[in-house]
Structure 1
Amino acid sequence: MKISIITVCWNSEKYLKTAIESVLNQTYKNIEYIIIDGGSSDKTLDIIKNYEPLFKGRMKWVSEKDNGIYDAMNKGINLTSGDIIGLLNSDDFYISNNALEKISNAFIRENVDSVYADLYYVKETDTDKILRRWITGKKRPFTSGWHPAHPTFFVKKEIYSKFGNFNVYYKIAADFEIMLRFLEKYSVSTYYIKEFLIKMRLGGKSNENFKNIKKGKNEIMQAFKSNNISVPFYYPYKRWMFKIFQYLLKKNIY
């Protein structure tokens, strides 16, 4: 099975090399790597161009203005030619060189539409420092507070074709909405790999400040509503506390 990996970036010179190298060093070679750049003004493009020959024709990239991260992700999805699609943030990376081997094997062995795994949140400047372990566990209702860590979520391309790409109405929570739509509304089949596959530097737009935490919570509630899924009354408060905890971790308060 061919795996398409998409990285969206903008002025990402600080950590992009680590993300690219974690893809380049994968033992699974039937891949394509697509980088969607939002028109960077730093050395991001130089980094991309330097690594492109090392992929020996398996890399595509675009650099142009976009309408936000989810618009850029949709551009990447539309360029893919693989059977499976995964998204890797420009400041995240695969922990081991056989991560994609494990993903491919799970799809083939379990004959499912999607696969997900566990994730480490790490300190931005010291990726050996684990701040939190996201142990996703087996699939449960999203209303319980469960959902996969999006960077570990791999999906067959045919599912995007059937049920749609990211909804760009959402500026912060489109990743949550698309997983909710696929797994909860349309009940696509999935399999959990009980293993940490990705390290994610703690941060992200949804945890940037209290304003974004509130906006993200509101978007998540809208995602439930637009997909006709009712939530218990306490869910918004539970989500709010979870995001505040992430914010405090980011600020080194915990």
Structure 2
Amino acid sequence: MNNLVSVIVPVYNRAHLVSEAIQSILSQTYESVEIIIINDGSTDGSLSILRDYERKFPEQIRVIDQPNQGQIIARNNGVKIAQGKYIAFLDSDDIWLERKLERQMSLFGPGVGLVYSGTEIINEEGKTIRVEPADENMSGNIYPQLLVKNRMTGGTVVVTAEALKRVGVFSTDFRAAENWDLWLRICKVYQARVVTDPLIKYRVHSNNMSGDTQLMLEAKLKIIEKHCNMESKDPDIARYSRLAHADYHYREGLNYFAKAQYRFARREFFSVLGFSILYEDTWLRLARSLLGERGNRLLRGLK
């Protein structure tokens, strides 16, 4: 089927949440969908739930059971057997809004390799914490801007199978930010389109990898080393590569500042200025890091 979307869902010990994720795919107003669920060695009864869905929807759902190998390999194994012209991803603890695919599929056209959307952040109980609309300007050739920070929650993204065939799948070289790496590889050679409205409910909880600050900083540095080129002849790539370095040091500075390690924070904020003289609130952060623990304690007391 020319417009078939293959939805890849890796599952590891999500017996209490996975049904909600699957139902959100089955409820899509866009009907040409196959669901490939990879049980990644679950030990909590998830597989039994998945097999029940497979029996109820044999034409639409396929379950692959594998020993635990991690989310990256699980997704890649799903991509290998996908039949769709388009590939979408959903984590087993997140939820799609019912018009998600319908609204995105209409944006694909010649030269477009990726379509994403805004995100609604929910807590473990499913209550909305905040809504994060996507930036309407992050459409078209977004590769240079994407070097600075990832703008896409993985579950919002739909890509073409052609794009994955050309640039490859998720890299196992990454412990985190493998999504960002793949979006960069796609956006380097294809256009992106965006639905600014949130089309997914992204669940925040203690197991989210994005909550591991040090891991994400290491991943960000790996992205910079792989993709950024401050000497590029393309002025946009050179400029945004410098901003990517600035953002990395800014995030490192914030991390040290939050731990009251002001000397290390100061070093990082000075590094930011070497790449961008007016990045975010670096000057203010630098001034506060010069105040030390006593000065910052006083400032907090004045608020």
Is the pair's TM-score, using the shorter chain for normalization, greater than 0.5?
A: yes
Give, in whole Å, the separation in 2 of the partners of 1:117 and 1:243: 28
- Larger RCO: Structure 1 or Structure 2 (Cα < 8 Å, ≥ 6 residues apart)? 1
Residues 114, 186 of structure 2: 8 Å contact kept: no
Q: Corresponding residue for 1:79?
A: 81
What secondary structure, in the 3-state scheme, does the structure 2 residue paired with 1:196 have?
strand
Query: For residues 115 and 49 of structure 1, do their structure 2 counterparts lie closer, same or farther at Cα, with a shift above 3 Å needed?
Result: same
Per the alignment, in what secondary structure is the counterpart of residue 112 of structure 2? coil
TM superposition shift of 1:143 = 4.0
1:101 aligns with 2:99: no
Alignment CA distance shift 1:169-1:27 (3 Å): same
In 2: Cα distance, 1:118 partner to 1:241 partner: 28
Equivalent residue runs for 1:149-164 within 5 Å: 149-164=153-168
Compared with structure 1, are the counterparts of its residues 243 and 49 closer, same or farther at alpha carbon in structure 2 (3 Å cutoff)? farther
Structure with a larger share of its residues in strand: 1
In the other structure, the counterpart of 2:265 is none
Q: Which residue of 1 aligns with 2:31?
A: 29
- Are 1:4 and 2:16 counterparts? no
Aligned match for 1:234, one of 246, 262, 273 = 246
Shift, 1:27, TM fit: 2.2
CA contact (8 A) 2:10 2:38 kept: yes
Q: How far apart, in 1, do the equivalents of 2:148 and 2:26 lie?
A: 37
- The separation in 1 between residues aligned to 2:176 and 2:48, in whole angstroms, is 28
Q: Give the aligned CA root-mean-square deviation in angstroms.
A: 2.2
Distance between the aligned counterparts of 1:231 and 1:80, measured in 2?
38
TM-score where L is the length of structure 1:
0.85
SS at match of 2:108: helix
Query: Cα offset for 1:30?
Result: 0.9
Counterparts of 1:54 and 1:25, CA distance in 2: 15
Distance in 1 of aligned mates of 2:131 and 2:9 = 23
The answer to whether the 8 Å contact 1:123/1:131 transfers is yes
Q: Percent identity?
A: 23
Name 1:207's counterpart in structure 2. 210
Could you tell me the TM-score, scaled by structure 2's length? 0.72
Deviation per CA, 1:189-224: give whole Å up to 9, x if none. Answer: 11111211000111354234xxx3212211121122
Give the partner amino acid of 1:101: E
Structure exhibiting the larger radius of gyration computed from Cα positions: 2
Structure with greater helix share of residues = 2
Displaced runs of 4 or more, over 6 A: 241-244
